[in-house]
Amino acid sequence: MYSLISPDGSVGDRLPLTLEQMKGLYADMIEARAYDRKSIAMQRQGRLATYASFEGQEAAQIGAAAALESDDWVAGTYRDAALMWRAGYPWKLLVAGRTGDERGGQPPETVNVLPPSITVGGHMIHAVGLAWAEKLKGSTRVALTSFGDGATSEGDFHEAMNFAAVYQTPTIFLCQNNGFAISLPRHEQTRSESIALKADAYGMPGEQVDGNDIAAVVAAISVAVERARKGDGPSLIEAVTYRMGAHTTSDDPARYRDELDAERWRERDPLLRVRKLFQNAGEWSEKWEADLETRATERIEQAVAEAESLPVPRREEMFERMYAEMTGPLRRQLDGGDS
């Protein structure tokens, strides 16, 4: 498994990132975690619909997005808020989506990040089509799709991997293997030694990377992105990580996993090891970390306030969103008439 930063913060090879870049990524992970914790709190207060926490997976998500250009395509899932945000999707809209507002699904015109897929696995092929279109248009844009280990059991995973390889689309498949498909552990999902190994059968490179090591994730995804941009086709990256929280706020992980295991993974926390790296280099202070946390909290609170101040959608918006131009039957239904 490819890794660059050990859990104790020590670095084997030279890092492909500067200290400043590492500090930026660390700040991003802190901000993402602030969003995650705020969301869980809001859900408990009844202010959000069900929420799927990504705590523990910040490095995989922030690292992957950091390897992309601002106009690349991203097709992720309900657990990918950190990835989507780092790729340009505003927190405000991510919060709005979770408060149950379709306007949360509408990123700015310059952001090519699809709203999160809620069904499992159906969106991977979309990144094949998106990338295929860019290839046909002669652009160098790539498309990254993110999914969990659970989604690799879906038939759609096969079709997406196969199409991407057959048509050599500039697609990056990022599997965040967080150990569980809701309650089913990874080793009961597939007999394959790894998920990365599956790439071989499709004729594309596959690599397993320490998903809690942000430098390793950035490096691995960057290689895949570069291949794709050069016209050398798709890649699969398996980021091995761990979902520290529950599947969603309506789930109790104590029913299916050993909490000692979760404690062991806490020592491999993606933020902790970067902090240790800074500490080892004499580049960390309590004040700096506290400042980062304060700034992150302020930004998230601001986004929450903006999202919650969106007026309740008007009834007609539900009808107006269906087609480019409202159809006759919808017009009549909106007006409360008969068919």
Partner 1 sequence: MTELNVAQALNQALDTALESDERVLLLGEDIGRTGGVFRITDGLLEKHGPDRVYDTPVAESGIVGAAFGLAIAGMRPVAELQFMGFSYPAYDQIISHVARIRNRSNHRFTAPLVIRIPFGGGIGAAEHHSESAEAIYAHVPGLKVVVPSTPHDAKGLLLAAIEDPDPVVFLEPIRMYRAVKEDVPDIYYTTALGKVRVEREGDDITLISWGAMMKETRAAATMIEDEGGSVEVLDLHTLSPLDADGIVDSVNKTGRAVVVHEAPRTGGFGGEVAAIVQERCLYSLLAPVMRVTGPDTIFPLKRSEGHYLPSAEEIVKVAMRALEE
Catalytic residue among 33, 98, 247, 268: 247
Q: Percentage helix, strand, coil, to 5, in the chain?
A: 50, 10, 40
Structure tokens at 245: 């929280």
Residues 103-142 that bind partner 1 (CB under 8 A): 103, 105-107, 109, 114-115, 117, 119, 122-123, 125-134, 136-137
DSSP 275: H
Comparison of 19 and 318: residue with beta carbon closer to partner 1:
318
* Contact yes or no for 210/274 (Cβ under 8 A): no
Q: Smallest distance from the beta carbon of 75 to partner 1, in angstroms?
A: 8
**Residues contacting 289, CB < 8 A, separation 6+:** 30, 275
Residue in 8, 102, 263, 301 binding partner 1, rule: CB under 8 A: 102
Burial 171-204 (b: 16+ CB within 10 A, else e): bbbbbbbbbbbeeeebeebeeeebbbebbeebeb
Comparison of 166 and 254: residue with beta carbon closer to partner 1:
166
Catalytic residue among 44, 256, 264, 315: 256
Query: Per-residue x/- mask for partner 1, residues 34 to 73, rule CB under 8 A?
Result: ---------------------------------------x
CA 262 to chain centre: 21
Give which of 163, 171, 126, 123 is closest to 147, Cα–Cα: 123
d(CA 134, CA 294): 40
Is residue 322 part of the contact set for partner 1 (CB under 8 A)?
A: yes
State yes or no: is 266 an active-site residue: no
User: With contacts defined by CB under 8 A, how many residues of the chain interact with partner 1?
Assistant: 47
Q: Which residue has the tokens 């408990």?
A: 44
Write the CA distances from 109 to 69, 138, 281, integer angstroms. 15, 21, 41
State yes or no: is 257 an active-site residue: no
Comparison of 58 and 72: residue with beta carbon closer to partner 1:
72
Residues 143-172 that bind partner 1 (CB under 8 A): 143, 155-156, 159-160, 162-163, 166-167
Q: Smallest distance from the beta carbon of 38 to partner 1, in angstroms?
A: 23
d(CA 331, CA 339): 10
Catalytic residue among 79, 86, 243, 273: 243
Q: Smallest distance from the beta carbon of 328 to partner 1, in angstroms?
A: 6
Amino acid at 193: E
State yes or no: is 247 an active-site residue: yes
User: Which class for 232: exposed (0-12), middle (13-18), buried (19 or more C-beta within 10 A)?
Assistant: middle
Pick the stretch among 26-34, 77-85, 303-311, 316-324 that binds partner 1 (CB under 8 A). 316-324
Comparison of 103 and 275: residue with beta carbon closer to partner 1:
103
d(CA 169, CA 233): 5
Return the H-helix or E-strand segment holding 238. Answer: strand 235-240
Pick the stretch among 51-59, 246-254, 257-265, 317-325 that binds partner 1 (CB under 8 A). 317-325
Catalytic residues: 243, 247, 256
The residues that touch partner 1, with contacts defined as CB under 8 A, are 73, 75, 102-103, 105-107, 109, 114-115, 117, 119, 122-123, 125-134, 136-137, 143, 155-156, 159-160, 162-163, 166-167, 321-325, 327-330, 332, 338-339
